[in-house]
């Protein structure tokens, strides 16, 4: 997540619509982040592993019609969600979390990882070289509405001298694992998965892509953006609140206050056209026992500097071009003291991988719904 702008005004004190939903209201506060899915879903059944593993998807190409092969992971959005595997997620997270300043050796290695994973899963992969950097974009063509695109993305660059485990290895690993579970499903719409470059330098990579997409008339129906999805805390007082949020989103503030300011939920920020995707995500979160809090921006306000605190990642590039986008985040420095290595190193040991995997699952299910499964 990029640094806050020092000059932008904080959240406006205007009355806005807010919805906050908390998954599994019966769960003990603070424990939902580490609660797993129903028994047996953490590791995919042997049969599905055999048909969705990298060794088999190489033949599926970018054609959704090959998904109808009896794989139980492809049956429904819930099934897609439950096929997200903790071990695969953890392995990619472990690899990505190292210094990867643009142009560095590990930045290149992570770019290669995105390229190789997406290729392995059967996506058509493009290196989008926009001038100063390189986005990696995978595309899997939909069966009946190929011009309509469901996009998932996360930035793979990071600032110098910081491993960036939360920011944003957690997001890239999620995007790649969701790419895998969506690879075989019979989807109406096209799915694109992106590893964005130079987010920390000002959303440069995603802005270049979104501007080109808008110029070309590309029909992106929803963008799911991950940036920092791995830090949670059940400690009261662990969630700080951006100045002005209590006034702009009083209902969301009240929910967080009632939960004793625990940082145990995934924060969601949606522009008005992303409302349906947000609802699908919340339904998945409820099913999985993941707490989710939504800030729903009123129509037309998503490009305003008044909401600068809510525009600090790549989803803002899509908001700026008039697209629907949903931002999923642990809220960065408002919860994680090691944001940008400010109070300490941003390392995997301080993260809640089970929480991140639940976010990935809920998003996989919501993305499958959005893509017409
Ligand atoms: Zn950052």
Q: State the CATH number of the domain containing residue 128.
A: 3.40.630.10
What pLDDT sits at residue 32? 37
Partnered with residue 138 across adjacent β-strands are 125, 193
Q: Containing domain of residue 55, as a range? A: 19-370
pLDDT in tens, 222-263: 999 999 999 999 999 999 998 888 999 999 999 999 999 999
Indicate whether 5 pLDDT > 80: no
- pTM of structure: 0.85
Adjacency order of strands within the sheet including 291-296: 19-22, 291-296, 266-270, 325-329, 219-226, 145-155, 189-196, 134-140, 124-129
Residue 70 pLDDT class (50, 70, 90 cuts): confident
Judge whether residue 324 has pLDDT over 70: yes
For residue 199, report the distance from its CA to the centre of ligand 1, in Å: 8
| Residue 7 is assigned to a structural domain of this protein | no
Distance 170 CA to ligand 1 centre (A): 12
Q: What is the pLDDT of residue 72?
A: 86
pLDDT tens digits, 141-156: 999 999 999 999 999 9
**How far, in Å, from the CA of 104 to the mean position of ligand 1?**
17
CA 231 to ligand 1 centroid distance, Å: 14
User: What is the 65 CA–ligand 1 centroid distance (Å)?
Assistant: 38
> Which phi-psi region, left, alpha or beta, contains residue 287 (left: φ > 0; alpha: ψ -120 to 50)?
alpha
In-domain check, residue 303: yes
Please give the tally of structural domains in the chain. 1
pLDDT tops 50 at residue 62 = no
In a domain, 173, yes or no: yes
Domain membership of residue 8 (yes or no) is no
Report how far ligand 1's centroid is from the alpha carbon of 25 (Å): 32
**Ligand 1 center from residue 168 Cα (angstroms):** 7
What's the gap in Å between 340 CA and the centre of ligand 1? 6
In the structure, what pLDDT confidence band is assigned to residue 7 with cuts at 50, 70 and 90?
Answer: low
pLDDT tens for residues 9-19? 555 444 333 44
Residue 132, in any domain of the structure: yes
Dist. CA 3 → ligand 1 center (Å): 6
Query: What is residue 243's predicted lDDT score, i.e. its pLDDT?
Result: 86
CA of 316 to the centre of ligand 1 (A): 14
Q: Is the pLDDT of residue 53 over 80?
A: no
What is the structure's pLDDT at 254? 94
10 in a domain, yes or no?
A: no
So what's the pLDDT on residue 9? 53
Cα 285 to middle of ligand 1, angstroms:
25
Residue 1 CA, ligand 1 centroid: distance in Å: 3
| Residue 4 in domain | no
Cα 163 to ligand 1 centroid, rounded to whole Å: 11
Average pLDDT of the chain to the nearest whole number: 87
CA 331–ligand 1 middle distance (angstroms): 11
Q: How close is the Cα of 293 to the center of ligand 1, in Å?
A: 21
pLDDT at 122 over 80: yes
Q: Taking 60 as the threshold, does the pLDDT of residue 65 lie above it?
A: no
Residue 196 belongs to a domain: yes
What is the pairing mode between strands 291-296 and 19-22? antiparallel
**161-200 per-position pLDDT tens digit:** 999 999 999 999 999 999 999 999 999 999 999 999 999 9
Residues 6+ apart with CB under 8 A from 48: 71, 72, 73, 83
């Amino acid at each position: 997540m990029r640094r806050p702008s020092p000059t932008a005004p904080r959240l406006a004190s205007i009355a806005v619509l807010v919805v906050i939903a908390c998954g599994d209201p019966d769960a003990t506060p603070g424990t939902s982040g580490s609660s797993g899915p129903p028994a047996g879903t953490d590791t995919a059944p042997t049969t599905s592993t055999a048909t969705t593993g990298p060794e088999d998807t190489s033949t599926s190409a970018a054609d959704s019609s090959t998904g109808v092969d009896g794989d139980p992971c492809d049956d429904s959005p819930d099934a897609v969600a439950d096929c997200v595997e903790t071990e695969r997620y953890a392995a990619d997270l472990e690899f990505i979390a190292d210094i990867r300043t643009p142009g560095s050796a590990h930045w290149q290695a992570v770019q290669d990882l995105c390229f190789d994973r997406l290729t392995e899963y059967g996506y058509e992969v493009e290196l989008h070289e926009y001038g100063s950097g390189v986005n990696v974009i995978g595309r899997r063509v939909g069966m009946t509405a190929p011009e309509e695109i469901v996009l998932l993305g996360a930035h793979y660059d990071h600032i110098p001298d910081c491993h960036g485990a939360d920011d944003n290895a957690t997001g890239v690993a999620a995007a790649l694992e969701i790419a895998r579970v969506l690879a075989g499903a019979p989807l109406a719409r096209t799915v694109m998965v992106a590893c964005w470059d130079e987010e920390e330098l000002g959303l440069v990579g995603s802005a270049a892509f979104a501007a080109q997409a808008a110029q070309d008339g590309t029909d992106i129906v929803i963008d799911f953006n991950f940036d920092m999805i791995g830090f949670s805390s059940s400690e009261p007082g662990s969630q700080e609140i951006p100045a002005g949020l209590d006034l702009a989103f009083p209902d969301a503030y009240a929910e967080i206050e009632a939960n004793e300011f625990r940082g145990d939920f995934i924060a969601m920020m949606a522009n008005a056209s992303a409302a349906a995707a947000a609802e699908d995500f919340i339904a998945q979160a409820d099913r999985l026992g993941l707490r989710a809090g939504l800030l729903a921006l009123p129509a037309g306000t998503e490009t305003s500097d008044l909401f600068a605190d809510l525009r600090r990642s790549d989803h803002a590039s899509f908001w700026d071009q008039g697209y629907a986008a949903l931002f999923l985040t642990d809220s960065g420095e408002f919860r994680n003291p090691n944001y940008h290595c400010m109070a300490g190193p941003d390392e995997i040991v301080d993260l809640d991988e089970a929480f991140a995997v639940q976010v990935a699952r809920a998003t996989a299910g919501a993305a499958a719904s959005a893509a017409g499964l």
